[in-house]
């Protein structure tokens, strides 16, 4: 992970950890070679991701084809999750995407963009948007429009 991504994620994480109980779990990428197949790697990664999820977790997968969300919509969903006491888990796929079993386990699918974004950027954008949405809910001036 590039240093600038680590620093950005760490900064936004510390801003939301108290109010959202944010934590980040990384699942290592499956070993890839020239002869290894993408579906095999996706299956290994998917199995590792699903092993981290509890039965009561509310799972949101990030997919290009998922629902596009404005910051205000994310804030509204975040408010609903908080009021319902839901534990939210976001799943982000590796270079080959998410295994279909991860999508099947999902309660929702969101899209951060119509663009295909690299995993490190998705990580940073997601944590920043969670901070922005939470700031909006708390009346903090970070979100200005």
Domains, the chain, with CATH or none = 3-25+54-137 (3.40.1280.10)
Q: Are strands 58-68 and 88-91 parallel, antiparallel or unpaired?
A: parallel
pTM listed for this prediction: 0.89
DSSP 35: S
CB of 29 closer than 8 Å to CB of 41: yes
96 contacts: CB under 8 Å, gap ≥ 6: 38, 39, 41, 42, 45
- What pLDDT, on a 0 to 100 scale, did the predictor assign at position 119? 85
- What pLDDT, on a 0 to 100 scale, did the predictor assign at position 37? 66
- What pLDDT, on a 0 to 100 scale, did the predictor assign at position 36? 66
CA-to-CA separations, 145 to 65, 70, 114, 136, in angstroms, rounded: 25, 11, 21, 10
The CA distance from 69 to 71, in Å, is 7
pLDDT per residue, tens digit, the chain (145 aa), is 899 999 999 999 999 999 998 988 888 777 766 666 677 778 888 999 999 999 999 999 999 889 999 999 999 999 999 999 999 999 998 878 889 999 999 999 999 998 888 888 999 999 999 999 999 999 988 877 5
């Amino acid at each position: 992970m590039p240093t600038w991504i680590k620093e950005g994620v760490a900064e936004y994480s510390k801003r939301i950890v108290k109010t959202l109980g944010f934590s980040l779990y990384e699942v290592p990428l499956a070993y890839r070679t020239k002869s290894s197949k993408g579906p095999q790697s996706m299956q290994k990664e998917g199995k590792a991701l699903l092993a981290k999820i509890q039965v009561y977790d509310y799972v949101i997968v990030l997919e290009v084809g998922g629902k596009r969300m404005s910051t205000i919509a994310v804030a509204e969903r975040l408010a609903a999750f908080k009021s319902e006491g839901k534990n939210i888990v976001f799943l982000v796929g590796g270079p080959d995407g998410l295994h279909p079993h991860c999508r099947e386990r999902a309660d929702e699918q969101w899209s951060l963009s119509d663009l295909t974004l690299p995993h490190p950027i998705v990580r940073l954008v997601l944590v920043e948007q969670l901070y922005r949405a939470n700031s909006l809910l708390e009346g903090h001036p970070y979100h200005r429009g």
